[in-house]
Amino acid sequence: MGRLFGTDGVRGVLNKELTPELALRLGLAIGSFFQEGSRILLGRDARSGGDMLARIVAGALTAAGVRVYDAGLTPTPALQYIVKNDGFDGGVMITASHNPREYNGIKVIAADGIEIPRDKEREIEEIFFQQRYRRVDWRSLSHETRPYPGVNEKYVYAVISHVDKELISRRGFKVLIDPANSVGALTSPWVAKLLGAKPITLNGHLDPWFPGRNPEPTPDTLTDTAKAVKALGADLGIAHDGDADRAIIIDDMGRVQWGDRTAALLTRFLAEKHPDLPRRVYTAISSSIVVEEVLREHGIKVVWMKVGSVDISRRLAAEGGLAGFEENGGFMYPLHHPVRDGAMTLALMLQLMAEEKTPLSQLYDQLPQYHLIKTKIPMTRDKALKVVEKVKEAFRGAGEMITIDGVRVNAEDYWFLVRPSGTEPLLRIMLEAKTREKAEALLAKIKSIAEEVLRE
């Protein structure tokens, strides 16, 4: 039996891989997975085809006897928060998150507001491939999709309830927010304003073509945003992906900071604020070794996991901890909701800055420094897996080897991760070393292995 779900939901190029026909069948499978009469909250980001997919999925869910409520345009963490706190049986989010603009996707949320576990994904796939759809009697189809207003407002006020509004307001921070022409524009500037900051928005109008920048926030895509932060004298810059569950921070010097460095600062801060929480964090093996270096000094255990926010969120919810996070900007604060949340990250960072009374750049400069390289090579998943096996052989004995997702090697003065992407036909390479020369030599060796596989 085939697979539909990737690292986080079902994604594909719109009208090529993710077709209306597939969306209809997947909607029927999702509706059949939930109990008849279940209340499902449906939302979408600003991507092209989002309205089309939402209507198709809503119809399919209704045909399966599910009651559909429409949240409209909303960030994924807002939909997740409302699903849990307003007593829905589940949710469906139409989004492809950070993927290029030609992609869209479908994400399924459980009643606890977290993406459904992997075993439940398999149940939906079985219904899909075996076409075991439930279709209710026509008498049960009188319930049409109903609007569910106020989702973004409830979410925004929930976020700011976790920080000290008066303390932050007294600092009068200037914040540049880049929501990538998508739904983060509906919530993050609102959060900043309610906290007494002055929000300046770049790429803030909704546009399915993402004209301002690529929806994945990285140093390469945030060049102009970073320049704007420095030119405008902002205390903080923040950039979201397409559904605003990620937040990449830009400091006052215009330097783009990866999510794991931000998480090191926030987790250390949260450990002081919440001594009652378990002294552990959960993160993917794509995160920097800096995390462990910093948090070990504060008695905080780092639990390494395979890449995928779903698994991290579920582990955090089940076992408890200070936080969960990813290097791509996903940060999970369990006292709010144990899922990636861009606006919550913004609020927590403002709280940290207000209490520390130190420029953000100086806080980041306190962290250990490594030379970081991230790159990707287009190739099929099969070839990417072959590269992983050859890298294991080439670096056997070089250091601690972790193989829960691709291969990661932790050596004395470097670490690297080589893994197939869970959402695109790519091989992802991430590495850090104490010197640029060492980092570039490592990359050259790994690339030569990849090129050898591609030639086969």
| 97 assigned to active site | yes
Residue type, 183: V
Contact between residue 345 and residue 337 where contact means Cβ atoms under 8 Å apart: no
- Decide: 79 and 151 in contact? Cβ < 8 Å: yes
Q: Which amino acid is at 356?
A: E
List Cα–Cα distances, 336 to 75, 111, 175, 303, 340, in angstroms.
15, 16, 22, 21, 11
Could you tell me which residues come within 8 angstroms of residue 371 by beta carbon, excluding any fewer than 6 positions away? Answer: 432, 433, 434, 435, 436, 438, 439
Is residue 182 within 8 A of residue 45, CB to CB? The reply is: yes
Burial, 31: exposed, middle or buried (Cβ in 10 Å; 0-12, 13-18, 19+)? Answer: buried
Task: Please classify residue 448 by burial: count the beta carbons closer than 10 Å to its beta carbon, then call 0-12 exposed, 13-18 middle and 19+ buried.
Answer: exposed
**Which entry of 32, 38, 97, 288 is annotated as an active-site residue?**
97
Roughly what angle, to the nearest 10 degrees, separates helices 259-273 and 342-356?
Answer: 60
Rg (CA), the chain: 22
Q: How far, in Å, CA of 223 to CA of 254, rounded?
A: 9
How many CA atoms does the CB half-sphere of 16 hold within 13 Å? 6
Q: Strand 400-402 to strand 407-410: parallel, antiparallel, or no bridges (unpaired)?
A: antiparallel
Beta bridge partners of 408: 402, 417
List residues with catalytic annotation: 97
